[in-house]
Amino acid sequence: MDKKTLCIEGWRGVNHSIAMVNQNQLLEMVKDGRFQLFHRDAPYFLPHWDRSKLDSGFSPEERAIIDGLPDPGEQVVDACVRIASPVRLGKPGSARRTATFVVTEFGLDDKCIDPPDLAPAALTQGDDFVFTPSHWAKARLIDYGFDADKVLVVPHGYKTDVFQPMSPEQRELARAPLGIKPDEVVFANVGVATWNKGIDLLLTAFAQLRLQGLPVRLIIKDHRALYGVGVDRIFADLASRVPELGSAQVTDGISVLTTSLTLPQMRSLYALSDAYVSPYRAEGFNLPVLEAMGCGTHVIVSGGGATDDFVPAALGYKLASRPGRKDEHPQVNGAFVVPDVNDLIHAMREVVEGRTASADQRAAAREQLEQQYSWGTVTRQLLDLL
């Protein structure tokens, strides 16, 4: 039987979340014998993005596979998967069927679609459909006007060969260069320092624990090179309003990583931590939470959002939250949740006191997670739709 021809139009080479999803899917797609695969590069969202400065972290062998996929030229393909931002229509007649990746945190606006007046129905004519990684994101697409039957949820996955737990000995070796003492409890976050990520809430809760004399550390991997936004701005704003947050007692417990990390380095960060904390207000999926759980690390996340789809009780704590109101952030056009900061402090204190699921419970939950959310499993779900 002849293979179907499939062209992916998206981003390669950089560590933006959409590019990472595309590249991980490509590595799995090349293993599927049903398709002859092509790739056409979409323009980067920002002109300063540079592969040499925003390393995606893949091995040389993986990069060769990703970069080696040919452009289809003028060939009409059986199917096309479009995965970039803003969302655009493909070239008319270039594919017999198109699946368009659409994701949003708060909700879509005219900056997400090009041109801004492009009707949602234009992306779902005939057999064409859109796919999104969470039920939260699907609800936002429906709010915008997409036909619910044409919005399919295909979750993201994680690299199960990379994001694995460390042995106690490996963990001790990873913590030593950072000067982490044996009794210190480490919290981590790798989110962009934007309002929806809730880094301000994390810093506020962490500061309270430090001011109470608890042996806690916080490691933040920000994305200054990608977006030009650093966590230092958020902390300075908080400290101007609550001066004790800027005290040495608090700041001495915080480490900020600003450089790109390889995937093994990301795994090390997750695995050496006692908990990954993401008190987000809005997320399309929140891939680092999944990767952290793959490393066996306890996670603390907002309840009521995208991570409700995939965080099991044995591996995570879902913060009490409520729907956000327009007056709480007038610049936001869409939906968000408001996590309870007191519950966040409580959840972090539980980690300090060792009141999380047992090692056996976490291991069983992680094994199930690996089966459901490997990149191989979720990419097959997408290919089965084409």
Q: What is the pLDDT of residue 80?
A: 97
Choose among 118, 131, 147: nearest CA to 10. Answer: 131
Topology of domain 168-373, CATH: Rossmann fold (3.40.50)
Cα torsion at 196, 335, 304, 342 (round to 10°)?
50
What is the residue-wise DSSP string for 24-63? HHHHHHTT-TTEEEEEEEPPPSSTT--TTTSB----HHHH
To the nearest 10 degrees (0 to 180), the angle between helices 199-211 and 231-241 is 60
Residue for token pair 């390669």: 12
The ranges assigned to domains in the chain are 4-158+375-383, 168-373
With beta carbons less than 8 A apart as the criterion, state whether 223 and 192 touch: yes
Which amino acid is residue 8, in one-letter code?
I
Q: CA-to-CA distance for 14 and 207, rounded, in angstroms?
A: 33
Give the Cβ contact number of residue 257 at 10 Å: 16
Q: What is the pLDDT of residue 23?
A: 97
To the nearest 10 degrees (0 to 180), the angle between helices 17-29 and 375-383 is 80
Specify the 3-state DSSP secondary structure of 270.
Answer: helix
Environment class of residue 256 by beta-carbon count within 10 Å: exposed (0-12), middle (13-18) or buried (19+)? middle
With beta carbons less than 8 A apart as the criterion, state whether 104 and 74 touch: no
Q: What is the pLDDT of residue 230?
A: 63
Same fold for the domain at 4-158+375-383 and the one at 168-373? yes
pTM assigned to the model: 0.93
From 3.30.70, 3.30.460, 3.40.50, 1.20.1740, which CATH number describes the 4-158+375-383 domain? 3.40.50
Q: CA-to-CA distance for 377 and 386, rounded, in angstroms?
A: 15
Q: What is the pLDDT of residue 331?
A: 80
Q: What is the mean pLDDT of each run of 10 residues along the chain (386 residues)?
A: 92 92 97 96 89 86 96 96 95 94 94 93 96 98 97 98 96 94 95 86 95 96 59 74 83 86 92 98 97 98 98 98 91 92 98 95 96 98 97
How far apart, in Å, are the Cα atoms of 91 and each of 6, 113, 247? Answer: 15, 16, 56
Q: CA-to-CA distance for 381 and 242, rounded, in angstroms?
A: 48
Q: What length is written for the chain?
A: 386
Q: What is the pLDDT of residue 285?
A: 97
Q: CA-to-CA distance for 305 and 319, rounded, in angstroms?
A: 10
Q: What is the pLDDT of residue 223?
A: 58
With beta carbons less than 8 A apart as the criterion, state whether 165 and 271 touch: yes
With beta carbons less than 8 A apart as the criterion, state whether 57 and 266 touch: yes
Choose among 318, 283, 248, 247: nearest CA to 156. Answer: 283
N-terminal to C-terminal alpha carbon distance within the chain: 16
